[in-house]
Amino acid sequence: MSPQNGPVLRLSGVHKHYQLGAHRIDALRGVDLDVQAGELLALTGPSGSGKSTLLNLCGLIDTPDAGDIELNGQPVNALDETARTLLRRDALGFVFQNFNLIPVMTVAENVDYPLFLADVPPAERRARVAAQLAAVGLAEHAHHRPDALSGGQRQRVAIARALI
């Protein structure tokens, strides 16, 4: 799905600020980033340095004040929220710091949810969920709710959901 020989994700001259009362916080100023298919990156920096802001922009959760973002060669800045949501669902996996698991759903239902939203047939969903839970070592916890899991197990559920 990515353009041949091009980055999967490209940020060019990205700026983002927040207003905190009367104070303007410039979280990002002119960030350029290319991420190639299969590339593994680590984002480090002190608290308040813009790491979460950058990830929210990369994950299409937020929009930049200036600059351009492309995902698989497609410009995304001008997409409306529905198009961004669909692109996020179909092209991205995101593991949040607090995992964002749905507490009333089981582990399997949390992992299944993106497939359900994408109208994947139930039999295929069950097989894919079972395989993904096995891959992260949580097959035996499929029917547990997130509050019955350790923090590390919750993180693996979130990873399984992102990978699905």
Helix axes 151-163 and 122-135, enclosed angle (nearest 10): 130
Residues in the chain: 164
Predicted confidence (pLDDT) at residue 1 exceeds the cutoff of 90: no
Residue 57 lies inside a defined structural domain of this protein: yes
- The C-alpha angle with vertex 90 and arms to 150 and 32, in degrees rounded to 5, equals 90
The string of pLDDT tens digits covering residues 72-111 is: 999 999 999 999 988 988 888 777 777 889 999 999 999 9
Question: In this structure, are 84 and 111 located in the same domain?
Answer: no
Residue 130 near residue 97 (C-beta atoms within 8 A): no
Residue 98 lies inside a defined structural domain of this protein: no
- Looking at residue 89, what is its pLDDT? 83
Residue 97 lies inside a defined structural domain of this protein: no
Predicted confidence (pLDDT) at residue 3 exceeds the cutoff of 60: no
Amino acid at 13: G
User: Which residues are CB-contacts of 47 (< 8 A; sequence separation ≥ 6)?
Assistant: none
State phi, psi for 62 to the nearest 5 degrees: -130, 165
Residue 55 lies inside a defined structural domain of this protein: yes
Which CATH number fits the domain that encloses residue 74? 3.40.50.300
Query: Could you tell me the maximum CA-CA distance found in the chain, to the nearest angstrom?
Result: 54
Domain interval for residue 150 = 107-163
Predicted confidence (pLDDT) at residue 122 exceeds the cutoff of 90: yes
Q: Which two tokens stand for residue 27?
A: 């979280």
Dist. CA 62–CA 2, nearest whole Å? 22
Dist. CA 119–CA 85, nearest whole Å? 15
Residue finishing a domain among 66, 91, 116? 91
Alpha-carbon Rg for the chain, nearest whole angstrom, is 18
Average pLDDT over residues 132-146: 97
Dist. CA 103–CA 82, nearest whole Å? 25
Residue 3 lies inside a defined structural domain of this protein: no
Please say whether the dihedral angle defined by the alpha carbons of residues 150, 41, 125 and 91, taken in this order, is positive or negative: positive
Residue 119 lies inside a defined structural domain of this protein: yes
- Looking at residue 88, what is its pLDDT? 86
pLDDT interval class at 2 (50, 70, 90): very low
Domain count, the chain: 2
Alpha carbon 28 to its chain centroid, in Å, reads 19
Question: In this structure, are 80 and 141 located in the same domain?
Answer: no
The string of pLDDT tens digits covering residues 15-58 is: 999 998 999 999 999 999 999 998 988 899 998 899 989 999 99
Dist. CA 108–CA 104, nearest whole Å? 12
Contacts 24+ apart (CB under 8 A), 39-43: 39/8
- Looking at residue 4, what is its pLDDT? 60
Question: In this structure, are 15 and 82 located in the same domain?
Answer: yes
Question: In this structure, are 114 and 159 located in the same domain?
Answer: yes
